Structure 1
Amino acid sequence: MDRYYWGIDLGGTKIECIVIDRETDQSVIRERIATESAKGYAHILDQIKTLIDRCADKLGQYPQSVGFGTPGTLDPIHGVMKNCNTTALNGKALDKDLNQQLNIKAVLANDANCFALAETHYGAVKRIKPDAQIVFGIIMGTGVGSGIVVDGKCLYGCHGIAGEWGHNVIESQGADCYCGKRGCVETVISGKGLERYYREISDQDLSLPEIVAAAKSGNEYAQKTIKRLRHYFSLAVAKIINVIDPEVIVIGGGVGNVDALYDNIDQLILPHLFNPELNTLIVKPELGDSAGVFGAAALVKHL
């Protein structure tokens, strides 16, 4: 077994690499370079190789396996990437191409899965509930993504979409979603969804942080927007608790910073639960922007 385990966070604008010592569980190298995705798929692969070669030179050792956090999902049936906002990756057999170009074993998971994995092994879950069997990680920002960790490993599912909570309908007559449905979790309680709702009821444009501040100052439209967030979040997350019953739910992204989302939220979730009490912990993350690369490394931690 390698003394070190490696992770790559493959973003639209940057690629970051981390190397972690197995004995200490501490990072020994962190490097990043620009993705330059506009130059195409082959160039992205070249940039990944450049970064890994650079880190290997510093370490004096080349990896046998590398975990990759990706801006989309590897379809387990068709073997190609899908739903990537770095569109050059869509339709590509990224894992096979990485294996061939780098002569390594590449293990892939989307950014939401890596977020959940990182907070489980290195962040909030490790601190408050290290023995948690099931963790649900949510990224609520411009969009909504989520991932499930079971016994310390990502759950992928038959189609590679396990945990895609953001595209369940919670408002049947809601706004159109890019996925083709209406009123998805993402369209209702993402940052963009909340800003759109505020604009519809107030005829004014405010950013989410401005809406939060306005609500605290007594703005009735802002308060209504936050109340709507709490209502639909409770309804949507109750469905997750009923199905997978996680010990911890970690909420990242800009919406996850809204303190009102956590205030007595148990009392709003309970009416929608099958169970008569709620013991699931709903918490903020601790790793910030580092979650992606730490989660990618965790993909190969136990190989």
Structure 2
Amino acid sequence: MRLGIDLGGTKIEIIALERNAVIYRKRVATPQGDYPATLAAIANLVQDAELKTGFKAELTAGLKARTPASIGIGIPGVISADTQKVKNANSTCLIGKPLQHDLETLLARPVRIANDANCFALSEAIDGAGQSGNVVFGVILGTGVGGGLVVNQQVLCGCNGITGEWGHNPLPWPGETEYPGPVCYCGQKGCIETFISGPGALQRHLESSKDQH
């Protein structure tokens, strides 16, 4: 059995796959700004998945010589090749944390972690909307703004692991009311993410509505 987890800014979702069929799915809210609670939420989702699918019971009873379910996680950031810690994450409580190490210790097994936009783009390139193209650019608009670039069904990560990311480019051709723009968590102002992410769009709407009253 394989477990896939989407760690997002507002929700964490897990699916269990067996013979490429989804046999279990569950979603919970992401603990906001709480790294230990995020680890616990992921561990609880894994435990629930193994219990509900009967996998845990089979292991305990020794009915089959099965290895623990493999786990892959898509995160809104990347693992730094230099420090092995998370960087470039809009879920800022993850930044600077040894997420892979902590999860592998907590779950007592290897955990594979990749950028969520890269996972999405690769999936579409292999068997989704982009499978007929040699070059696929996948865009995520959610709590953050992300992107993944796939060429010939291979993800391009680049030396810094952020090839394809575009959320922290400046807003092109900003108007008078858009410059210098809102402060972004990255420390800059006017990043595209501050305008068209979910929270950014909501803030712009609230400001616009307030101006009209």
Q: Is the 8 A contact 1:7 1:17 kept in 2?
A: yes
User: 2:39, 2:212 → 1: CA distance?
Assistant: 44
Q: CA 1:196 to 1:134, structure 2 compared with 1: closer, same or farther past 3 Å?
A: same
User: What is the TM-score with the length of structure 1 in the denominator?
Assistant: 0.52
User: 2:191, 2:109 → 1: CA distance?
Assistant: 38
Alignment of 1:189-268 (within 5 A): 192=200, 196=204, 204=212
User: 1:180, 1:82 → 2: CA distance?
Assistant: 14
The residue matched to 2:37 in structure 1 has which SS?
Answer: helix
Report which of the two has the higher share of helix: 1
Letter of the structure 1 residue corresponding to residue 4 of structure 2: G
Unmatched 5+ stretches in structure 2: 56-65
Alignment of 1:109-124 (within 5 A): 109-124=114-129
Report which of the two has the higher share of strand: 2
Q: CA 1:190 to 1:9, structure 2 compared with 1: closer, same or farther past 3 Å?
A: closer
User: 1:141, 1:13 → 2: CA distance?
Assistant: 9
The residue matched to 1:124 in structure 2 has which SS?
Answer: coil
**Which residue, out of 21, 24, 27, partners 1:29?**
24
In the alignment, which residue of structure 2 is the partner of 1:98?
103
Letter of the structure 2 residue corresponding to residue 95 of structure 1: Q
Letter of the structure 2 residue corresponding to residue 69 of structure 1: G
**Which residue, out of 2, 6, 13, partners 1:9?**
6
**Which residue, out of 108, 112, 134, partners 1:107?**
112
Alignment of 1:38-49 (within 5 A): 40-49=34-43
Q: CA 1:175 to 1:204, structure 2 compared with 1: closer, same or farther past 3 Å?
A: farther
User: 1:154, 1:194 → 2: CA distance?
Assistant: 32
Q: Is the 8 A contact 1:186 1:193 kept in 2?
A: no
User: 1:69, 1:164 → 2: CA distance?
Assistant: 15
Letter of the structure 2 residue corresponding to residue 120 of structure 1: A
User: 1:159, 1:189 → 2: CA distance?
Assistant: 24
User: 2:148, 2:68 → 1: CA distance?
Assistant: 26
Q: CA 1:63 to 1:135, structure 2 compared with 1: closer, same or farther past 3 Å?
A: farther
Bigger shift: residues 133-142 or 173-182: 173-182
User: 1:84, 1:65 → 2: CA distance?
Assistant: 24
In the alignment, which residue of structure 1 is the partner of 2:153?
152
The residue matched to 1:43 in structure 2 has which SS?
Answer: helix
In the alignment, which residue of structure 1 is the partner of 2:82?
77
In the alignment, which residue of structure 2 is the partner of 1:167?
168
Question: Which of structures 1 and 2 has the larger relative contact order (alpha carbons within 8 angstroms, sep 6+)?
Answer: 1
Residue-by-residue CA offset, 1:56-77 (whole Å, 9 max, x unaligned): 2224266453111113222222
Bigger shift: residues 177-186 or 6-15: 177-186
In the alignment, which residue of structure 1 is the partner of 2:59?
none
CA positional deviation for 1:8: 0.5
Letter of the structure 1 residue corresponding to residue 156 of structure 2: L
The residue matched to 2:27 in structure 1 has which SS?
Answer: strand
User: 1:99, 1:171 → 2: CA distance?
Assistant: 45
User: 2:25, 2:132 → 1: CA distance?
Assistant: 28
User: What is the TM-score with the length of structure 2 in the denominator?
Assistant: 0.71
**Which residue, out of 31, 35, 50, partners 1:56?**
50
User: 2:106, 2:196 → 1: CA distance?
Assistant: 41
User: 2:95, 2:106 → 1: CA distance?
Assistant: 18
The residue matched to 1:120 in structure 2 has which SS?
Answer: helix
User: 1:56, 1:194 → 2: CA distance?
Assistant: 37
Unmatched 5+ stretches in structure 1: 206-303
Q: CA 1:59 to 1:163, structure 2 compared with 1: closer, same or farther past 3 Å?
A: farther
Q: Is the 8 A contact 1:6 1:63 kept in 2?
A: no
Residue-by-residue CA offset, 1:130-163 (whole Å, 9 max, x unaligned): 2433211112456532111234343322112111
In the alignment, which residue of structure 1 is the partner of 2:93?
88
The residue matched to 2:167 in structure 1 has which SS?
Answer: helix
CA positional deviation for 1:37: 4.2
